[in-house]
Amino acid sequence: MENLSDRSRVILEAVIEDYIRTAEPVGSRSISRKHTLSPATIRNVMSDLEEMGFLLSPHTSAGRIPTDKAFRFYVDSLLTVRTIEKEQQDQILSQYKLHGRDVAEILKETSRILSSFSHYMGVVVTPRFNATVFRHMEFVKLGGRTILAILVAINGVVQNKIIETDEVISPEELVRMSNYLNELLEGLTIAEVRNRILLEMEDEKVRYDTMLARALNLSAQTLDENGTEVFIEGQFNILELPEFADVTRMKDVFHAFEEKNQLVTLLDRCIQSEGVHIFIGAENYLSRMEKMSVITAPYMTGNKTVGILGVIGPTRMGYDRVIPIVDYTAKLLSKLLDAE
């Protein structure tokens, strides 16, 4: 990292924090008020910082704005992350208490929590089904050849799918099928389940047992689709931010969410790495989101990472405040999913 003098650091930090507060270019005078230095001195330092690529001036007679690089440096080296207050912890916890305990509900609520506590947007990607452990599979007959397949993971995540079969299958046979499958697949992760089914299907003895073949076929169909969903809450929060007062900027943001899968790839990028991850401005490689930062953290069930959550806000977001919120929420969600 660049070697900055102590003074430069202090001033850079001051500029950044001012900018986070006001969203306006920061002038030398406003900083001199808080430090016992004259504006001229500060101007000199700022000029150096600009040279180094930490600041930029929109035009000659405005103040200066921190660049992405500055925020990166701020987050890496200057920032002392606040510890989350007990009070806030309790508030978050009690939010969860209010709602039902269906997993999808919990995830949506998590997104809402992230949004309302950060004052930005909350985002939660649904668990990677693959990493979770199989618990139960069940077939319910809805009508003639229509069957509802229900797949339950050990953490309570449910996936259901309506399947049209070629031939009519009796309810009794359906029960036998699910018994067979539940025994066969017990304790495997969904990814393993997938493999196992393919393997089984090649087995000689299965090929000549219609029931088994059908069962495997059905379960394969149940698994074939594996939607990752994204819950984004609090879009309206960013409507209030001055940097998006401009209509075209706003459109950009919303268009960015149209392609949710792009967002998923972004978030997925940090699925292996532990702990909080931060993408600042252009670092997220989505042109629509150049002016935004993303703070993410993985959450897990058991000790496997199954999903990602985070907060999306402007580059000038209150990192010190938001990081612990994301961190705590991820841990809390992991705990909630485990308890089940």
Partner DNA sequence: GTTAGCACTCGGATGTTTCGAGTGCTAACT
Partner DNA sequence: AGTTAGCACTCGAAACATCCGAGTGCTAAC
Of 39 and 156, nearer to a second copy (C-beta) is 156
275 is in the binding site of which of a second copy, DNA, none (Cβ under 5 to 8 A by kind)?
none
119 is in the binding site of which of DNA, a second copy, none (Cβ under 5 to 8 A by kind)?
none
Q: How far is the CB of 28 from DNA (least distance, A)?
A: 3
Q: How far is the CB of 318 from a second copy (least distance, A)?
A: 22
Report the candidate in 183, 137, 117, 167 with the shortest Cα–Cα distance to residue 330: 117
Cα gap 107→127, rounded to integer Å: 9
Query: Of 38, 77, 179, 273, which lies in the binding site for DNA, with binding defined by CB under 7 A?
Result: 38
Residue 232 sits in the site that holds a second copy (CB under 8 A): no
Query: Of 11, 12, 25, 154, which lies in the binding site for DNA, with binding defined by CB under 7 A?
Result: 25
Kindly give, in sequence order, each residue whose CB lies less than 8 Å from that of residue 227, ignoring residues fewer than 6 positions away.
Answer: 126
Query: Of 28, 219, 296, 305, which lies in the binding site for DNA, with binding defined by CB under 7 A?
Result: 28
Q: How far is the CB of 268 from a second copy (least distance, A)?
A: 21
Of 27 and 127, nearer to DNA (C-beta) is 27
Is-contact 236 252, C-beta < 8 A? no
Cα gap 339→200, rounded to integer Å: 33
153 bridge partner residues = 134
Residue 303 sits in the site that holds DNA (CB under 7 A): no
Measured from the Cβ of residue 216, the count of other Cβ atoms closer than 10 Å reads 23
Q: How far is the CB of 270 from a second copy (least distance, A)?
A: 27
Q: 65-66 and 292-301: which strand pairing?
A: unpaired
Residue 37 sits in the site that holds DNA (CB under 7 A): yes
Q: Which stretch binds a second copy (CB under 8 A): 36-44, 83-91, 155-163, 282-290?
A: 155-163
Taking CB under 7 A as the rule, which mask of x and - marks residues 59-88 in contact with DNA? xxxxxx------------------------
Q: How far is the CB of 124 from a second copy (least distance, A)?
A: 16
Query: Of 100, 172, 183, 303, which lies in the binding site for a second copy, with binding defined by CB under 8 A?
Result: 100
Is-contact 92 117, C-beta < 8 A? yes
Residue 334 sits in the site that holds DNA (CB under 7 A): no
Q: How far is the CB of 53 from DNA (least distance, A)?
A: 14
Tokens representing 170 are 């009796």
End-to-end Cα, the chain, rounded Å: 45
Cα gap 71→84, rounded to integer Å: 21
**What own/partner pairs with CB < 8 Å and gap ≥ 24 does 70-75 have?**
70/12, 70/15, 70/16, 71/16, 71/280, 71/281, 71/293, 71/315, 71/316, 71/319, 72/280, 72/283, 73/1, 73/2, 73/12, 74/12, 74/13, 74/16, 74/319, 75/278, 75/280, 75/319
Q: Site residues for DNA, window 40-59 (CB under 7 A)? A: 40-41, 43-44, 46-47, 50, 57-59
Which residues of the chain form contacts with DNA (CB under 7 A)?
A: 7, 25-30, 36-41, 43-44, 46-47, 50, 57-64
